[in-house]
């Protein structure tokens, strides 16, 4: 599933052709994805200007001139692909329609944005912009890791007394929003902390030190266009490249890349997810 860097990469790719531009027609080609689409979605989108395109955790939010906000979740295999971009940022002509093109936005500038999702785990919803933060999917989210509300004391307080493994704590979207399996593994490697360590038993100084590491990992991933493992594509159809910089994720049996460490990357399963780490230098 795309994590924060992949979603932010898609948002940045869509912004130049969607922000300030009217949706002249919205084609909704099925009644649902993971959940049913909102009533009259095509009609409610058609003729509305996209005032702002933003991100909250792993969700893209399009604020519309109607006073509603379109929530988009890419799910496991969802892609939002731009074609016919008049700004010249994309070279793709409008392709022929494909089987899994579930929602298509025809923009007044000639661009077309196609939401393609073979597995149909994605989702869309419409909600009042003024109360968007109260939506059931957004209200439970913790602070944004790249925002000012995420800082050392917030993470230390969240970890205090917690008996769950640190890997599980960092994946808890109530503690910090947008982190997923890939970037938690990479963060813990850089921090030198085993994913098996109990969150509440890590020294405060080490917990605090994870905050700038989390930010650095995410910023580097965004700069690289995210990580493409299976289905992820940027808005122009290109792959992300951060997977070539992984220190531990997907490298089971490979040598540890930390200077002076002779360890071998191991994989364990925690709560049904693979954790990759170096048993020698992560403690």
Domains (ranges, CATH) in the chain? 4-134 (3.20.190.10), 152-277 (1.10.8.50)
What distance in Å separates the CA atoms of residue 223 and residue 202, rounded to the nearest whole number? Answer: 30
What distance in Å separates the CA atoms of residue 188 and residue 172, rounded to the nearest whole number? Answer: 15
What distance in Å separates the CA atoms of residue 33 and residue 22, rounded to the nearest whole number? Answer: 24
What distance in Å separates the CA atoms of residue 115 and residue 45, rounded to the nearest whole number? Answer: 14
Summarize pLDDT for 176-206 with one digit per residue, the tens: 999 999 999 999 999 999 999 999 999 999 9
Summarize pLDDT for 220-229 with one digit per residue, the tens: 888 876 654 4
- The pTM (predicted TM-score) of the whole model is 0.88
Q: How many CA atoms lie within 13 A of 202 on its CB side?
A: 30
Provide the H-helix boundaries in 68-179.
Answer: 152-159, 166-171
Alpha-carbon distance values, 183 to 6, 78, 143, 199 (Å): 11, 20, 16, 17
Q: Is the C-alpha dihedral spanning 112, 62, 127, 180 positive or negative?
A: positive
Q: What is the DSSP letter of 256?
A: P
3 carries an active-site annotation: yes
Q: How many C-beta atoms lie closer than 10 Å to residue 198's C-beta?
A: 15
Stretches where the chain sits below pLDDT 70 are 1, 85-93, 96, 225-244
58 carries an active-site annotation: yes
- Among candidate residues 162, 196, 215, 273, the one labeled active-site is 273
What distance in Å separates the CA atoms of residue 171 and residue 4, rounded to the nearest whole number? Answer: 12
Residue 183 phi, psi dihedral angles, 5° rounding: -80, -20
Picking from 112, 113, 90, 117, the residue whose alpha carbon sits closest to that of residue 102 is 117
Strand ranges (E), 74-131: 79-83, 101-107, 112-116, 123-128
Summarize pLDDT for 65-81 with one digit per residue, the tens: 999 999 999 988 888 88
Q: Give the pLDDT of residue 82.
A: 87
- Among candidate residues 2, 5, 143, 195, the one labeled active-site is 2
- Among candidate residues 11, 58, 79, 167, the one labeled active-site is 58
Picking from 78, 79, 82, 81, the residue whose alpha carbon sits closest to that of residue 120 is 78
SS3 content of the chain, % helix, strand, coil (to 5): 30, 25, 50
- Among candidate residues 3, 8, 68, 186, the one labeled active-site is 3
Q: How many C-beta atoms lie closer than 10 Å to residue 140's C-beta?
A: 11
Q: Give the pLDDT of residue 231.
A: 46
Beta strands 112-116 and 101-107, pairing class: antiparallel
198 carries an active-site annotation: no
Q: Give the pLDDT of residue 2.
A: 80
What distance in Å separates the CA atoms of residue 129 and residue 121, rounded to the nearest whole number? Answer: 24
């Amino acid at each position: 599933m795309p994590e924060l860097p992949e979603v932010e990469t898609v948002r940045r790719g869509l912004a130049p052709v969607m922000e300030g531009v009217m949706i002249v027609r919205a084609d909704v080609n099925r009644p649902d994805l993971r959940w049913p689409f909102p009533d009259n979605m095509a009609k409610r989108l058609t003729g509305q200007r996209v005032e702002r395109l933003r991100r909250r955790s792993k969700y893209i939010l399009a604020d519309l001139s109607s006073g509603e906000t379109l929530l988009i979740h890419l799910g496991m295999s969802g892609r939002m692909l731009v074609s016919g971009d008049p700004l010249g940022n994309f070279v793709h002509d409008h392709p022929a329609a494909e089987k899994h093109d579930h929602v298509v936005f025809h923009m007044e500038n000639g661009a077309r944005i196609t939401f393609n999702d073979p597995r149909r785990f994605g989702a869309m919803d419409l909600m009042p912009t003024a109360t968007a933060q109260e939506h059931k999917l957004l209200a439970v989210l913790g602070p944004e890791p790249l925002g000012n509300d995420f800082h050392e004391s917030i993470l230390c307080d969240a970890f205090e007394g917690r008996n769950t493994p640190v890997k599980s704590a960092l994946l808890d979207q109530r503690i910090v929003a947008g982190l997923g399996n890939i970037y938690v593994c990479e963060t813990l490697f850089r921090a030198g902390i085993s994913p098996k360590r109990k969150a509440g038993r890590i020294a405060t100084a080490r917990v605090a030190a994870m905050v700038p590491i989390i930010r650095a990992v995410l910023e580097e991933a965004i700069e690289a266009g995210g990580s493409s493992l299976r289905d992820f594509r940027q808005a122009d159809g290109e792959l992300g490249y951060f997977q070539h910089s992984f220190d531990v994720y997907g490298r089971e049996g490979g040598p540890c890349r930390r200077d002076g460490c002779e360890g071998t990357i191991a994989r364990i399963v925690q709560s049904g997810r693979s954790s990759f780490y170096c048993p020698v230098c992560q403690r």
